[in-house]
Amino acid sequence: MRATVDPLLAGARLDTALAKLAGVARTRAAAAIRAGLVLRNGLPAKGSETVAEGDRIDYEIEPPPALNARPEAIPLDIVYEDAELLVVNKPPGMVTHPAHGAYSGTLVNALLAHVGTLPVGTGEEAPLRPGLVHRLDRDTSGLLVVAKTPRALELLGRAMQHRKITRRYVGIAVGTVTPPAGTVAGPIGRDQRNRQKMAVREGGKPAVTHYRTLEALRGATELAFELETGRTHQIRVHMAALGFPLLNDPVYGHADKRVALPGQALHAGSLSFRHPVTGEELTFAVDPPVEYAAARELFRG
């Protein structure tokens, strides 16, 4: 197939531009470039090259498979619901949406069974993430807002993009965190040595995490976190980079057999935003799960 770079894409990386032109994920576009299936103005190109207006892009990319999430009757802890949206308290251990290796038993599967249909955004994997405004890691518990209508999905998506949705977390870090309060500002991108992890690295996306100590424990610290950005694994990556990984984090720290948590001790306990239709200011808060509370008690000694 052939496409021409328009003014809006001029100056973008080739892999980014191709993803938009072909309507696929950037990873698929990058893979096609690496495989030699993409020509820029008739010549082989690299994904990191910058495209210019009028560039001719020839490519061969298989169309993405039809992806759809299916409803499953799974109990939900619904904190709030109206005609436009709902707020749920996700338990630890539940995947937020279907993905490779987890196509059932997710929060989205449960939501579809409860609501019936959810609005779908744009992008190759959007059918697997209907209604989702933001996500939580599998083993992170807590609050998520879900859009029930296309209008709510669009307006809440804009609010998230413009940092109008406030998310606060609590977590337990290993060690006595110093300084006791501060800000971690470090760009986050895929770890180049381990593609299953994220890392603070040059060329990553800007990420800012604010933290403060709630309680000094024995060999650990309970912290409150507030995010300015929402990068993958952001709190976990930033705390590990600071030298105080989250308790029981098997990826960025170490699993701790003394606690019953399925993964990292992290809970999204507070969520605030303006209702996308009524304009009402909404604030929700939920306590951490019993496994988190038990881990905190253990380190209180």
Whole-angstrom Cα distance, residue 58 to residue 142?
45
Q: Is residue 68 part of a domain?
A: no
Q: Is residue 69 part of a domain?
A: no
Q: Is residue 73 part of a domain?
A: no
Q: Is residue 189 part of a domain?
A: yes
- Concatenating the DSSP letter of every residue in the chain gives -EEE--TTTTTSBHHHHHHHHHTS-HHHHHHHHHTT-EEETTEE--TTSBP-TT-EEEE--PPPP------------EEEE-SSEEEEEEPTT--SS-BTTB-SSSHHHHHHHHHS-----SSTTGGGSTTBSS---TT-EEEEEEESSHHHHHHHHHHHHTT-SEEEEEEEEES--SSSEEEEE--EEE-SS-TTSEEE-TTSB--EEEEEEEEE-SSEEEEEEEESS--TTHHHHHHHHHT-PBTT-TTTS---TTS--SS--EEEEEEEEE-TTT--EEEEE-PPPHHHHHHHHHHH-
> Does residue 36 share a domain with residue 120?
no
How much is the pLDDT for 78?
98
> Does residue 141 share a domain with residue 15?
no
Among 15, 55, 137, 139, which one carries the catalytic annotation? 137
Q: Is residue 269 part of a domain?
A: yes
> Does residue 292 share a domain with residue 143?
yes
Predicted model pTM:
0.80
| CATH code of the domain in which 148 resides | 3.30.2350.10
Q: Is residue 38 part of a domain?
A: yes
Whether 137 is catalytic? yes
Q: Are 161 and 235 in contact (CB under 8 A)?
A: no
> Does residue 92 share a domain with residue 51?
no
> Does residue 83 share a domain with residue 12?
no
How confident is the model over 1-24, as pLDDT tens digits?
Answer: 899 999 989 999 999 999 889 888
> Does residue 86 share a domain with residue 202?
yes
Whole-angstrom Cα distance, residue 82 to residue 108?
18
Considering the chain, what percentage of its residues have pLDDT values greater than 70?
A: 97
How confident is the model over 95-121, as pLDDT tens digits?
Answer: 999 887 778 899 999 999 999 999 988
The stretch 235-261 carries a mean pLDDT of 97
What is the count of structural domains for the chain? 2
pLDDT of residue 63 exceeding 70 = no
The stretch 212-233 carries a mean pLDDT of 96
Whole-angstrom Cα distance, residue 87 to residue 80?
5
> Does residue 144 share a domain with residue 88?
yes
> Does residue 148 share a domain with residue 17?
no
Q: Are 152 and 120 in contact (CB under 8 A)?
A: no
109/122: higher pLDDT:
109
> Does residue 83 share a domain with residue 44?
no
> Does residue 184 share a domain with residue 89?
yes
How much is the pLDDT for 122?
73
How much is the pLDDT for 64?
60
Q: Is residue 70 part of a domain?
A: no
pLDDT of residue 263 exceeding 80 = yes
| CATH code of the domain in which 8 resides | 3.10.290.10
Q: Is residue 72 part of a domain?
A: no
> Does residue 94 share a domain with residue 206?
yes
How much is the pLDDT for 67?
60
Mean pLDDT across the chain: 93
> Does residue 101 share a domain with residue 140?
yes
Residue span of the structural domain in which 26 resides:
2-59
